[in-house]
Structure 1
Amino acid sequence: MNIAWKEIKKNKVRFIILGSIVFLVSLLTFIISGLANGLSQDNAALIKSLPDGQFYMAEDAEGTNSLSRIDLKIQDQTLSETKDAVALSIQMGFLNDEDDKQRSVAFVTSTESPLFENVEKGEIVLDRSLQEAGLKVGDTLTNDQFSGEFTVKEFVDQQKYSHAPVAFINMENYKEMYRTNEMQLLFVPENSEFPTIAGLQSYTNKEFLSAIPSYSAEQLSLNMIVWFLVVISALLFAIFFYMMNVQKIGLYGILKAIGVKTSTLFKMMWTQMFFITTIALVFSIGLSQLFNQFAPAGMPFSLTATVTIQLSIVFLVIGFIGATLSGIQIKKVEPLQAIQQGEV
């Protein structure tokens, strides 16, 4: 530990450069991860807020809920025989406010269930983002497909679908708007037995999320960038410590000659890696959380403590691996040969 600290003080510039690079890469990783989580929440908060369970939709819909239709007899039988089961529909559409401004929403209706907002005819419950956009409780909204008017009952938090705020409406109003008596989906929560229903295909929450347009492509692209940055960090550690070790072959030979164990040399290198990485992570976490607090209102950014801790552990692990791989040459150092090489 003492040797490691002395070397850091002696070669401050080198370690500051390494620390700065790790800081910048980890900061970029935290920010992109926050954007990925924010976009995920903005794209599918409605589904992610549900407990684990099974979604059912018509087999011929091929995973597209907007094309699914649940037969009324199957729906009634499932709801009566399966505890906590709920039938629901999700349709993209528009609302016109009192200033005749059109707002894109995802209309959601369901049978009576604590999992979804239950509203009376003519009422509507909206995601809070629409309140921030200027709507308020008591406002009257219209829809071109609906003969009546909607009165805003209340606003709820974190209810988005396909990047659109959710609008919960009464089932009878939904049927009039979309000219159908059939619902699109059945959902059975985890605390119930999952039935096998003829003519319907079942999906886990994760599988259903993947069926949302753009969700998989969006998340795959951002997560790929995150892991590329992690791999780059590992390479940086390996290259940096490899170059350092090459320059210190003679020193390692002398240390081995006077009885210093190889394990002690590895511990010195690991201590340096841990110290540099920890300092860099502290600064990058601080700045990313500051960015989280002051990110523009319209930017979907969510960096939770859990994700931050997980990424920090990943950086420490890959730093350990990178430093260890670069230090394999230390084990091969022969004292006399290394001393002679250092003299050349």
Structure 2
Amino acid sequence: MFLAWKEVIYNKLKFSLIIGVLVLVGYLLFLVSGLSNGLMNMNREALDKWNGDAIVITEESNQNLAQSMIAADEIDGEFNKKAGIKNTAVIVSKGDVKQNALLFGISKDEFLKPNIIEGDMFIDTFDVVADDTLKEKGYKVGDTLDLAGTDDTLTITGFTDRSKYNAAPILYGSGKTVDMLTNNRTKDKVNAFVVKDSNYMNVALDDDLQVVGTESFIKKLPGYTEQKLTLDFMSYFLFAISAFIIGIFLYVITIQKAPIYGLLKAQGISNAFLARSVLFQTLILAVIAVLFALGLTVLTASFLPPVVPIMFDWKMIAIYGITLIITALIGGLFSINSVRKVDPLKQIG
């Protein structure tokens, strides 16, 4: 450990280059992780806040909420707790500011009611509680929203936090509001039921209905799984790249230090001692790089605008950091064989 650290201190420039490359890899990895969590969270925020165990939806809808339609009294008594939900897509505007949104019709007396962070719960038809991301676009409590394709308007009575579905902000209103905007197509019906019942798999339903666990339902959201796999593969490739980079750098440095290793071996220093020194050196470089990358990531996140969907899972960041260090150590193993092959007699001449 002492030999490894002294060499790092002595050759600051050379090892700073290795640390710099690893910092960039770690920085990109942590940012990708934060963006991945942010994007995934935008798809599932509302579902997570509902805290339901499962969703009851029609079989033929292919787990698409907008394509499902169920009679409001279809499953009375089958589950411990259930709440019907109506859904329609809308385009709202205030002046020149337009926004795609999803209007969810719910009962304000059931567990789906949103948490109000500003203003009040909706009361009358065409009153809505909006996701707080609309505040960032200039909307405020009391605003009247024009609706594309109709003369009807919505009034924002309050804001709720973290309420998006499939990356679109949600407007919560009464079921009657959705009925009016869909020409009563949803009257006495709902698009789905959110249920709270850990025993939901054992409930018998009509053949045209299916009950889907919340996590399974989320994975079927359009684009959710594809986005997650894409970003996960980016992370895996970054790990492989970091191992490749550290392996090349340390191999080159090892070749350059062959005369030194030859001299140390001639003095009785064992291959095992030199191998440990290389690994300790790699560990030092990787830990420093991960800490710098983490600090740079936190600093960058503090300057990003709110519209950038970044959210850090610090437990996952810690796992990524440790994995990056382990990956660097694996890369360092490539140079150990070169150390073992150094012939002290040839190097001394």
Smaller-chain TM-score range?
Answer: 0.7 to 0.9
Cα deviation code 1:47-80 (max 9, x no counterpart): 24343622232111123221112244433x2xx2
- CA displacement at 1:325 relative to structure 2: 4.1
Match for residue 154 of structure 1?
A: 158
Say if 1:14 and 1:204 are closer, same or farther in 2 by CA, change over 3 A: farther
Which of 176, 193, 203 does residue 186 from structure 1 map onto?
Answer: 193
- CA displacement at 1:166 relative to structure 2: 0.6
- CA displacement at 1:147 relative to structure 2: 7.3
- CA displacement at 1:13 relative to structure 2: 2.4
Name the aligned partner's letter for residue 177 of structure 2. N
Question: For the residues of structure 1 that align with 2:266 and 2:58, how far apart are their CA atoms?
Answer: 75
Deviates more, 1:40-49 or 1:15-24: 40-49
CA RMSD of aligned residues (A): 2.7
Judge conservation of contact 1:121–1:172 (CA < 8 Å) in 2: no
Gaps of 5+ in 2: 115-120
Please say if 1:120 is aligned against 2:84.
no
Which of 135, 138, 141 does residue 139 from structure 2 map onto?
Answer: 135
Say if 1:172 and 1:163 are closer, same or farther in 2 by CA, change over 3 A: same
Name the aligned partner's letter for residue 193 of structure 2. L
- CA displacement at 1:101 relative to structure 2: 5.0
Cα deviation code 1:240-289 (max 9, x no counterpart): 22233334445445545544444433331222112212222222211211
Which of 105, 115, 127 does residue 101 from structure 2 map onto?
Answer: 105
Name the aligned partner's letter for residue 347 of structure 2. G
Name the aligned partner's letter for residue 338 of structure 1. D
Match for residue 313 of structure 1?
A: 322
- CA displacement at 1:319 relative to structure 2: 1.3
Size of the aligned set, in residue pairs, is 336
- CA displacement at 1:191 relative to structure 2: 4.5
How is 1:21-170 mapped onto 2 (pairs within 5 angstroms)? 21-51=21-51, 53-75=53-75, 77=76, 80-97=77-94, 99=95, 102-111=98-107, 112-117=109-114, 119-122=122-125, 123-143=127-147, 149-170=153-174
- CA displacement at 1:297 relative to structure 2: 3.1
Question: For the residues of structure 1 that align with 2:136 and 2:190, how far apart are their CA atoms?
Answer: 31
Judge conservation of contact 1:22–1:233 (CA < 8 Å) in 2: yes
Say if 1:154 and 1:268 are closer, same or farther in 2 by CA, change over 3 A: same
TM-score relative to the length of structure 2: 0.85
Say if 1:72 and 1:251 are closer, same or farther in 2 by CA, change over 3 A: same
Please say if 1:299 is aligned against 2:303.
no
Q: Give the 3-state SS of the residue equivalent to 2:190 in structure 1.
A: coil
Q: Give the 3-state SS of the residue equivalent to 2:309 in structure 1.
A: coil
Say if 1:52 and 1:4 are closer, same or farther in 2 by CA, change over 3 A: farther
Match for residue 274 of structure 1?
A: 283
Match for residue 236 of structure 1?
A: 245
